[in-house]
Structure 1
Amino acid sequence: MIKNITNCLILCCLLVGTACGGGSDGPDKTKPEADIKVPSANQTFVKGANLPLDAVFTDNKALKNCVVTLVYNPDVTSAQLKGLSDPWEPAPATIPLNGKQTDEQKLDNIFAEPVESSCLSGDYTLTFIVEDAAGNKSDAIMVDIVIQ
């Protein structure tokens, strides 16, 4: 009788442990990643053109989005001689991702607008930060480009 009760208790503990996630691998703490194919490092874009994206985003569980920002690198002074003083500063772009482990994105334009035709020519840096469904964020992925 005691043996039967012991066996029942062991079975109940196993069932409760499995039902409560006893076999899970814990919370997601892995950062998502991105492979940015376009734009490539030091790629040149002309004013008035779109800034395309060709990238593959990956995560161990589920992707959420990618935020892209663009900043001007003021090391170049030649554009100031042309009478242009303001760099292109589009609003950050949030690219929604598919919620799966892999998402390939091919966009005609990262931002809501083409490269401003009257902006300051020179070196710019695109920064990509990918977020997964658990809130983990990738390290900043930076791509330097040139706008002429």
Structure 2
Amino acid sequence: MKWLNKILLASTLSILMTSCGDDDKSVDLEKPTADIEITRENGTYSPGSSILINANFFDNVALKECQVSIASLRSLKGWDTDWDSEMYKISLSGKQVSLNSVRVLEDIPVDIYYGEYRLSFKVLDEANNYSIYEIDILIE
């Protein structure tokens, strides 16, 4: 009878260890990363121009998308919004994506208030882990 108990105990432990190991491997908790830079060296734009970026995106399992938005620093302090741009989405796939001179957002409106703006890049992976990167620009 003791040998039967040992077999049952060994089988139960084996099943528990196998199921725990599988769960740990399937959960992606690692955030994606990115290297993002604007193509204008001084970060100064004029109304009517486009904002272009160069970027490299990385994830340990699978990338999903990069969501790009912009806000004026005035509106971030509670003032009226100067430019209501819709969020721009860049579809990503695989573990690594490189982009060169890609246009983000719509062109800068010609009647926009001059001043400082903040570009925000939310990079997501397939597990919805994300990282946020911000770049300040000047419109004049």
Instruction: Please give the TM-score of this superposition, normalised by the length of structure 1.
Output: 0.71
C-alpha change, 1:39 and 1:90, in structure 2 (3 Å) is farther
Structure number with higher strand proportion:
2
Q: Deviations over 1:115-142 (max 9, x none)?
A: 001100100001111100111111x211
**Tell me, which stretches of 5 or more residues in structure 1 are unaligned?**
1-9, 76-84
Paired with 2:32 and 2:100, the residues of 1 have a C-alpha distance of 18
3-state SS of paired residue (1:130): strand
Once the two structures are aligned, what percentage of the paired residues are identical?
A: 30
2:125 paired with 1:132:
yes
Measure the CA separation in 1 of the matches of 2:119 and 2:34: 13
Pick the aligned partner of 1:103 from 88, 93, 97: 97
Are the aligned partners of 2:74 and 2:81 in contact in 1 as well (CA < 8 Å)? no
- Which residue number in structure 1 is paired with residue 44 of structure 2? 44
CA shift at 1:41, angstroms?
8.2
Q: Secondary structure at the match of 1:25?
A: helix
Structure 2 unpaired stretches of 5+: 1-9
* 1:94 maps to which of 80, 89, 108: 89
CA RMSD of the aligned region, Å?
Answer: 3.1
1:31 aligns with 2:43: no
2:67 counterpart residue number: 67
Deviation at 1:105, TM superposition (A): 1.7
Which protein has the bigger helix share? 2
* TM superposition score normalised by structure 2: 0.75
Cα distance in 1, alignment partners of residues 128 and 71 from structure 2: 25
C-alpha displacement of 1:34: 1.1
Q: Could you list the runs of 4 or more consecutive aligned residues of structure 1 that deviate by over 4 angstroms after TM superposition?
A: 20-24, 39-42
Aligned to 1:6: none
